[in-house]
Amino acid sequence: MASINENYLKLPGSYLFAEIARRVTAFKSENPSANIIRLGIGDVTQPLVPSVIKGLHTAIDEMAQPATFRGYGPEQGYDFLIQTIIDHDFAPRGVTLDIDEVFVSDGSKSDVGNIQEIFGLDNIVAITDPVYPVYLDSNVMAGRTGTLNNGRFEKIVYMPCNAENQFIPELPKEKVDMIYLCVPNNPTGTTLSKAELTKWVEFAKANDAIILFDAAYESYIQEPDIPHSIYEIDGAKEVAIEFRSFSKTAGFTGTRCAYTVVPKTVMGRTASGETHSLNKLWNRRQTTKFNGVPYIIQRGAQAVYTPEGQQQIKEVIKYYMANAKIIREGLQSIGLQVFGGVNAPYIWLKTPNNMDSWDFFDKLLTEVNIVGTPGTGFGPSGAGYFRLTAFGSRENTEQAIERIKTKLSL
């Protein structure tokens, strides 16, 4: 009999969103007539914009002709998409990147989960708490976290984020090697100013640490003077890897396209002290384990950057941020303490009367048939908090808030 990777047994229960789905399914089976509104998982509801559809159709037609048919593409992504990404997402912000520093993938979730493979198991990992579960879980699976004690893994450095510190993490006081930052943050919606982000870059440089910077929601930033890329900070190209996604920016949750930036100047060390470029290691990983994003999808992603595409996705983002305002102001009107929803499509709220997060989940589901996400699913410091997303339709968003305001017993 084959032995197993026992690190998987260290994971508590099921994956957060799988547990939510299980509870909703059980409730629906017992209450088949319930009209459930889902504001839990961050999946989009608006269709792909016309420019993207046009790009996809054009690529499909190309695949039907011998002269323009394509089979295997480059695992790193086609140059036409990578250069477009550099020209539109980075060059206008004063960031210079080489074409072999950008890797197109099938999603940021895949990349932030897989990136840990190029790091040694003896590295100390720091994560903000609460945070997107994949950062922690993928390191547990790898065997980098030790055992779980009282809700925390012994080798993980948790950086608590709560209302008292405005959900802005403090610099670690102990030695860390890998730092996960999600900005704008999922689930709290927090952003970091240029001065605050500079502190992290300086800390990483001073402590030989690597920042794994998840910028999946950068297109939702509304306020000026907030960096959209960590590479806007001097020195960041020496210490940071950045993840970007088309999922929430352009509705690609079902289409699957993202990219990761690994500058060739970001280095790691061997046990003997030799330095190696993480860019080369990630390239080796991807070319071994990944066959690349389909040509058709990459043409659709390129269409996001056309003038028409840019205007169209801005309208979709505007739509979701209007939903966020409806949720935020609706919850505030009944006295709930609410955060986020300004530079991110997530609303992070304090549960009423210090209610347990899963108890509030059940209450919301049973009393008003609305699905959200319990804060404890994002980490120990999420206890007593709850997340709602702005990715629903306008009709469902308005109906959900009306239900909460008129039918939820607080």
Q: Of 281, 306, 331, at which residue does a domain stop?
A: 306
Please tell me the distance from the alpha carbon of residue 323 to that of residue 301, in angstroms, as a whole number.
25
Q: What is the pLDDT of residues 286-328, one digit of tens each?
A: 999 999 999 999 999 999 999 999 999 999 999 999 999 999 9
Confidence band of 410 (pLDDT split at 50, 70, 90): confident
Asked whether residue 274 falls in the same domain as residue 361, the answer is: no
Q: Of the candidates 306, 323, 351, which is a domain's last residue? A: 306
Q: Give the pTM.
A: 0.96
What is the rounded CA–CA span in Å between residue 348 and residue 389? 9
Q: What is the pLDDT of residue 13?
A: 72
pLDDT over 90 (residue 15): no
Predicted confidence (pLDDT) at residue 29 exceeds the cutoff of 90: yes
Q: Which pLDDT does position 87 carry in this prediction?
A: 98
The pLDDT of residue 64 is above 90: yes
246 and 273 housed in the same domain: yes
CATH of the domain at 208: 3.40.640.10
Quick check: is 144 in a domain?
yes
* Of the residues 284, 306, 328, the one at which a domain ends: 306
How far apart are the C-alpha atoms of 196 and 304, rounded to whole Å? 30
Q: What is the pLDDT of residue 256?
A: 98
pLDDT of residue 19: 86
Do 131 and 42 fall into the same domain?
A: no
Pairing between β-strand 338-340 and β-strand 346-350 as defined by DSSP bridges: antiparallel
CA distances from 200 to 108, 211, 343, 379 (A): 22, 8, 20, 21
Residues 323, 291 share a domain: no
User: How many CB atoms neighbour CB 388 within 10 A?
Assistant: 31
Asked whether residue 38 falls in the same domain as residue 57, the answer is: no
| C-beta of residue 302 within 8 angstroms of C-beta of residue 296 | no
Domain that holds residue 11: 6-47+309-407
Q: Quick check: is 402 in a domain?
A: yes
What CATH number is given to the structural domain containing 390?
A: 3.90.1150.10
Q: Are residues 269 and 341 in the same domain?
A: no
Residue 167 lies in a domain: yes
Q: What is the mean pLDDT of residues 200-220?
A: 98
How many domains does the chain divide into? 2
Q: Do 40 and 136 sit in the same domain of this protein?
A: no
84 with 109, same domain?
A: yes
- Do 235 and 125 share a domain, yes or no? yes
Residue 12 has pLDDT above 90, yes or no: no
Residue 163 belongs to a domain: yes
Task: Please check whether residue 1 lies inside any domain of the structure.
Answer: no
Judge residue 13's burial from the number of C-beta atoms within 10 Å of its C-beta, 0-12 exposed, 13-18 middle, 19 or more buried.
exposed
56 within some domain: yes
pLDDT at position 251 over 90: yes
Predicted local distance difference test score (pLDDT) of residue 42:
84
Note whether 342 and 323 are same-domain residues: yes
What average pLDDT score do residues 44-73 get?
Answer: 98
Report d(CA 101, CA 328) in Å as an integer. Answer: 38
> Does one domain contain both 233 and 367?
no
pLDDT of 218: 97
The reply to whether 324 falls in a domain is: yes
pLDDT of the residue at 17 = 80
pLDDT for res 120: 98
Decide if 31 is inside a domain.
yes
| Average pLDDT in the chain | 96
Q: Are residues 320 and 393 in the same domain?
A: yes
